[in-house]
Structure 1
Amino acid sequence: MSLWAGREDPEPDSLRWHQVVTPYKRDSEPGVVLVGFGCDAGVARNQGRVGAAEGPRSLRRALAPLAWHRRAPVFDAGDINCHGNDDMEAAQVRLAERLATLLANSQLPVALGGGHEMAYASWSGLTRHLEARGERCPKIGIVNLDAHFDLRDPSQMRSSGTPFAQIAAECEARGWPFRYACLGVSRANNTRALFDRARKLGVLIKEDREFLPHRFEAIQRELERFMARCDHLYLTVDLDVLPSSEAPGVSAPAARGVELAMIETLVETVRDSGKLRLADFAELNPSFDNDGRTARAAARLIHQLTLDS
């Protein structure tokens, strides 16, 4: 909680996030609950730039001074930390358990990363919650704003590049539909094998080069059609979807990317669907975040995601 600090304005009705965020308790009223995932073991396994384990702290600092415009509360449930590369799978289980508990208590969890290996934990937490409610074949839609599919073969090693392949395999084993939209993907940074796998899995694919002003409304409509076929939505934002000029502090900076204004609109589209159950923000690497630009961009997205007025 010491990270929640900042200026205080004398005018009435001038609160900022750091003045209203409180520690989460079991009997807390429904609201948004932030959970950190201090882990970049998956990034290390994926041969990326490590440092994302410090992402949750940087994100809290960036959120702290933002103006407060919510009616419902926001809580901080602390961090799930990974202790070395061999602890990744156990850390994913711990995060999944925490998220399932929060969902059972009618909260909207927002996980702060951390490497994108957190996606498997987020999905697992949601499925645990839905199964506990008796849903045998839930229609879960995954909306991933990302430069990468993260559909690599996990049979040799699980990493930040494999979470959605792991999820697809679990859906197949359970007889569940795999509904996955990957928006902002870079053809230059995904092999032909990954594009082929995505097509075979029926992934909604939108490449970064498609995000042009005159085509953006069509992309929104496709996303809306995708969401209409789902009962529950899980939103995951890998910050490397943004251009490196807007988000230098990530594990794999994008040469092109999708500008923040468009990503923000997509986040709001998912928020306004009424089906969002949880969200996470991955790959913030403070070690490379010049002037905190990436943390501020992520904080802006979280601010917009959680607006209720």
Structure 2
Amino acid sequence: MSIDMSMWTGRVDAAEGDVARRWHQAVQPLAEGVAPGIAILGFACDEGVRRNQGRTGAVDGPLALRRALANLAWHPTLPLYDAGTVRCDDGDLDAAHERLAAAVTAIVQAGHLPLVLGGGHETAYGHWLGLARAHAGKRIGIVNFDAHFDLRQADTATSGTPFAQIAAACHTLGQPFRYLCLGVAETANTRALFDTAARLGAEWRLDSDMAPWQLAEARQQLAEFVDSVDAVYLTIDLDVLPAAQMPAVSAPAGYGVDIAVVDALVAKLARSGKLIGADLVEFNPVFDQDSHGAKAAARLAWGITRQLRR
């Protein structure tokens, strides 16, 4: 898998020296033997979105998000690397999941934390698979910021099935399925999906219970979940944000959770010491407006990395 660094360009404040660097000046191509850090991995795929009858275009998300990240101010935390992009150009989502899982496992075994840029939310299954293989024996909790449970039943994998697939895999492996979905929209999930979530022992919090003045309650729920597991996989479906903040997704939210609330909770999780992998999914540059969506997504990614320390 080749690594294309050409999109990492931006402003250079040379007069202010090394302390004025931006992401494009800090990121390096991932190589063997480098110090442990954060490895950005793309998953250029929206086959799951297409199968789920959504608006396609998320296949171009990894490139657009790298460009949005490139010009952000770099405040040193862990070293930053680009690990390339896994693509799904032939419609074979199962094979793409295996390639993504293999890449994630290799990143973790080399001592890095994967930050995956999707792609549709089908990204989650391949990402989790790689983390589970690299952290065998650990109770991995999934924290999903999402308007949707993504627990649908289907004959083939889609962007609406990843956590049903993970639940099935956990059952096969004899492992607990630990899943917290924050920002669930009652308008976007049928009664059948709520019943499935309850049957699987999932936990959730409605978007209507995640206003800024309810942040303390959400923080407590998140803290209790994190305490109950050995490690945490964080996935952010950008359609959890209000449409005014995130227009560039397959299914824009009519209500949503304010980005300040999501950012505060993500920061708490990143500081927990249990984060083993994170992704941002469903960004669709076809529907972006003046880069509003790309900037919001990049801000959330920046917030994750800002909290990580050696």
Shorter-chain TM-score: what band? Answer: over 0.9
1:290-301 paired onto structure 2 within 5 Å? 290-301=289-300
For residues 52-105 of structure 1, the C-alpha deviation after alignment (integer angstroms, 9 at most, x for no partner) is 0000000001000000002421000110000132x2111110010000011011
Q: Does 1:303 align with 2:302?
A: yes
Query: Does 2:114 align with 1:149?
Result: no
Residue 247 of structure 1 is matched in structure 2 by 246
In structure 2, the residue matched to 1:108 is: 113
Match of 1:188 in 2: 187
CA distance in 1, matches of 2:89, 2:174: 34
CA–CA separation in structure 2 for the residues paired with 1:111 and 1:140: 17
Deviations 1:37-57 (A, max 9, x none): 000000000000000000000
Amino acid at match of 1:203: A
Alpha-carbon distance in 2 for matches of 1:242, 1:214:
17
C-alpha distance in structure 2 between counterparts of 1:195 and 1:25, whole Å: 44
Per mean C-alpha deviation after superposition, the further-off stretch among 264-273 and 42-51 is: 264-273
How many angstroms apart in 2 are the aligned matches of 1:120 and 1:209? 27
Question: 2:98 — aligned with what?
Answer: 93
**RMSD value, Cα:** 1.0
In structure 2, the residue matched to 1:72 is 78
Percent identity (aligned): 50
CA offsets per residue over residues 152-180 of structure 1, 9 Å max, x none? 013x1210000000101111111111100
Matches of 2:22 and 2:135, distance apart in 1: 34
Match of 2:282 in 1: 283
- Give the secondary-structure state (helix, strand or coil) at the position aligned to 2:20: coil
Instruction: Describe the SS at the equivalent of 2:180.
Output: strand
Q: 1:17 & 1:126 partners in 2: Cα distance?
A: 26
1:50 maps to: 56
Aligned with 2:254: secondary structure? coil
Q: Distance in 2 between matches of 1:149 and 1:290?
A: 27
Q: Which of 22, 25, 28 matches 1:22?
A: 28
For 1:146, give the aligned amino acid: D
The gaps in structure 2 that reach 5 residues or longer are none
Structure 2 Cα separation of the partners of residues 11 and 275 of structure 1? 36
Q: After TM superposition, where is structure 1 displaced by more than 6 Å over at least 4 residues in a row? A: none
Q: TM-score, normalization: structure 1? A: 0.96
TM-score, with length taken from structure 2 = 0.96
Which of these residues, 8, 28, 49, is aligned with residue 4 of structure 1? 8
1:205-284 pair list within 5 angstroms: 205-284=204-283
- For 2:212 and 2:6, locate their aligned partners in 1 and report how far apart those are by CA, in whole Å: 42
Structure-1 separation of matches of 2:89 and 2:213: 47
Aligned-pair CA distance for 1:214: 2.8
Distance 2:32 2:120 in 1: 27
8 Å Cα contact 2:211-2:261 kept in structure 1: no
Question: Match for 2:164: what amino acid?
Answer: A
The residue that corresponds to 1:81 in the other structure is 87
The 3-state SS of whatever aligns with 1:53 is helix
SS of corresponding position for 2:11:
coil
Unpaired runs of 5+ in structure 1? Answer: none
Secondary structure of 1:291's aligned partner: coil
Q: 123, 132, 136: which is aligned to 1:127?
A: 132
Counterparts in 2 of 1:218 and 1:71: CA distance versus 1, 3 Å? closer
Contact 2:77 2:305 in 1 (8 A): no
Change (3 A) 1:220 1:71: closer
The SS at the match of 2:291 is: helix
